[in-house]
Chains A and B, each alone.
Chain A
Amino acid sequence: MDLYALSIHEAQDLLKSRKISSVELTRAVLSRIESIEPSVDAYITVTEDLALEQAEAADKMISENATQPLTGIPIAVKDLICTRGTATTCASKILETFVPPYDATVMAKLLAAGAVMTGKVNMDEFAMGSSTENSGFKITKNPWNLAHVPGGSSGGSAAAVAAGMCLGSLGSDTGGSIRQPAAHCGVVGVKPTYGRVSRFGLVAFASSLDQIGPLAKDVTDAAILLQLISGYDPKDSTSIDTPVPDFRKALTGDVQGLKIGIPKEYHTAEGMDPDVQSAVQNAMAVLKNAGAELVDVSLPHSQYAVAAYYLIAPAEASSNLARYDGVKYGLRDSSGANLLDMYQNTRSGGFGPEVQRRILLGTYALSAGYYDAYYKKASQIRTLIKNDFASAFDRCDIILSPVTPTPAFKIGENIDDPLTMYLSDIFTLSANLAGIPGLSVPCGLSRNGLPIGVQLMGRYFDESTILNAAFAFEQATDFHTLRPKL
């Protein structure tokens, strides 16, 4: 077996028993990147020298029996997580030259555990998009079919895992940006409960929705990564001081008596692809067969989620992105006559069209005379959506739904129609509005050979139960072992 194709837990065992070294493993992944990056375009920066240095240090840790769960494991990091000394661009021209002077808390945790960083991976600019077509630098291709998008915004993170260009990766999820690309690329992706993982050093898009999470080859790997990055951080005042359970220990595969809610609104949505529908129904049958009980539930305000989200997220973004002014870091266009020209030229030249569209939309929604009609109204709807989940979870332990209405679309297919692109987030963004955890696990292939994912959502801070249900599904199926042929 090629070393790059290993899962994290397989590699861990081989490293621990000294059958392979981290340097060998890292070299295998770097040479995999070298050979297929020209066709996949997953990376913005490959940190080859740094990775080999870290791999040597990891081998030393292992030789001293100081191994931690991720020691020596090559990991890719979405390019909006600050990495000290390595450019962090957010796939934006405005941050092309930005080299953070500090590490994000999740990075510090990875490094302390002896992980190896292979580089920074591509995304939609500032995480705004569902396809990576909004990257300011390159479009990542879906490793299963290079004419299709990998999903987004964490498209580089998902493609890199699927194609063996890292063993696992970190992404961020504001409205589905981990779960949707994970589904499109046939890997596991977890959006933790809001507040479970520190956002310190995560470049902000919509602060009340953003959450960092893992993308991995299987549920066990996702649990290992989530374990490492979780926990309260005094540097993030929205992180929550609550115990972090042992996620891997929770993977018993036992779902006997587990109540799985099936929201009728999600399974009768318009525009559902028949292949997605049958793969998701099959997933329901598999879990039922494993002993779970399917329960009908209702999320009556689901139909309003997209509209509420596309007011709240742009409103927060318009405020967060005000900091890019050409003064403190990043691009500066000083061709104009005065300070105002500098602000405007820098921002108009540095931000791509989707980012400018969302800044304008958010500014409009927050502007005098419109605040009550748009931002406040959307925040009230957010309460109703949150209450929907609370009542549903009175009747069930987890909720099962599709991740996306269709498999990955073709590159260029939706790029001129922002609203259609937004509507493809319909099943994922409610979890961000409500703050609950959600994951995507592979559950089939379409007739065209593109991966399909099923989404499991859980109660606040109950990632364990959705991870275990996904693990039970994995035990009964072999979708997680399928890999694209490249």
Chain B
Amino acid sequence: MKLTKEEVLHVAALARLHMDDARIDTFADQLGHILEYVETLDRLDTKDVLPTFHAVGTQNAFREDIPAGHLDREAALANAPAADDGCFIVPKVIE
């Protein structure tokens, strides 16, 4: 099984990854190979099996809504590639 070029491009676009021609084939091959392997799961009938998303099965974790300490703005912005006047700077989104 090999993914098509279109499938790889579609998934890459969803994942916000840039995909050049040279890499499409490699990923198509490798992902296809892995997906073929995971299809062994189809051998099992799981119609009546509930899925497990959390191994230890905790319920919702609630707490009182009490304001507590938080990062100050300067610390939160210290790692930003671009920041000014207390804000993150990003490329223009709206024309």
User: What mask results when residues 391 to 407 of chain A are scored 1 for a CB within 8 Å of chain B, else 0?
Assistant: 00000000000000000
B52 x A382 contact (CB < 8 A)? yes
Q: With contacts A329-B79, A359-B15, A383-B49 known, is A364 near B91, CB below 8 A?
A: no
How many residue pairs bridge A and B at CB < 8 Å?
161
Decide yes or no: A240 and B50 within 8 Å by CB, A304-B40, A419-B34 being known contacts. no
Interface SS of chain A: helix, strand, loop or mixed? helix
**Residues of A contacting B17 with CB < 8 Å?**
344, 347-348, 351, 356, 359-360
A359 surroundings in chain B (CB, below 8 A): 15, 17
CB-CB nearest in chain A for B78: A101
Contact A419 B37 (CB under 8 A): yes
Q: A195-B56, A327-B90, A334-B91 are in contact. Are A343 and B16 (CB under 8 A)?
A: yes
A308 to B91, CA, bound (A): 39
Stretch at the interface among A56-64, A216-224, A372-380, A471-479: A372-380
A419 to B33, CA, bound (A): 8
Interface string of B69-95 (1 = CB under 8 A from A): 001000110111110000010111100
Cβ B90 vs Cβ A307 within 8 A: no
The interface size bin for chain A is 35 or more
Select one of B12, B51, B93 contacting A383, CB under 8 A. B51
Q: What's the minimum C-beta distance from A203 to chain B, rounded to whole angstroms?
A: 13
Q: In the complex, A467 Cα to B3 Cα: how many Å?
A: 46
A384 at the interface (CB under 8 A from B): yes
In the complex, A310→B19 CA distance in Å? 22
What chain B residues lie within 8 Å of A65 (beta carbons)? none
Interface residues on B, range: 35 or more
Interface flags, B13-34, vs A, CB<8A=1, else 0: 0111111000000010011011
**Contact with A363, one of B15, B34, B53, B63 (Cβ below 8 angstroms):** B15
Residues of chain A contacted by B40 (CB below 8 angstroms): 303-304, 307
Closest residue of B by beta carbon distance from A208:
B54
**Using an 8 Å CB-CB cutoff, how does the interface string of B41-55 with A read, 1 for contact, 0 for none?**
110101001111111
Chain A residues near B18 (CB-CB < 8 A): 344-345, 347-348
Residues of A within 8 A of B49 (CB): 380, 383-384
B1 in the interface (beta carbon within 8 A): no
Q: Are A379 and B90 in contact (CB under 8 A)?
A: no
CB pair A384–B44 under 8 Å, yes or no, is: yes
Which of A193, A304, A322 is within 8 Å of B41, CB to CB? A304
- Residue A284 CB within 8 A of the other chain: no
B46 close to A380 (CB less than 8 A): yes
A420-447 interface (Cβ within 8 A of B): 422, 432-436
Residue of B nearest to A331 (CB): B81
Give the docked Cα–Cα distance between A378 and B39 (Å): 10
Residues of A within 8 A of B58 (CB): 195, 237-238, 240
Least Cβ–Cβ distance between A95 and chain B, in angstroms: 9
CB <8 Å contact, B44 and A381: yes
| In contact, A101 and B75 (Cβ under 8 angstroms) | yes
- When the two chains form their complex, are residues A367 and B82 in contact, meaning their CB atoms are under 8 A apart? no
The list of the 4 closest CB pairs from A to B, nearest first, reads A435-B55, A379-B51, A329-B79, A332-B81
A–B complex contacts, Cβ < 8 Å, 26 sampled = A98-B79, A101-B71, A194-B55, A208-B54, A301-B44, A306-B37, A322-B16, A326-B81, A329-B79, A331-B81, A332-B81, A338-B92, A339-B90, A339-B93, A347-B15, A359-B15, A359-B17, A360-B8, A360-B31, A361-B35, A367-B11, A367-B14, A378-B38, A380-B51, A380-B52, A435-B56
Known: A101-B79, A330-B81, A332-B81. 8 other contacts (CB 8 A): A209-B55, A234-B63, A310-B38, A327-B90, A328-B80, A361-B34, A383-B52, A419-B33
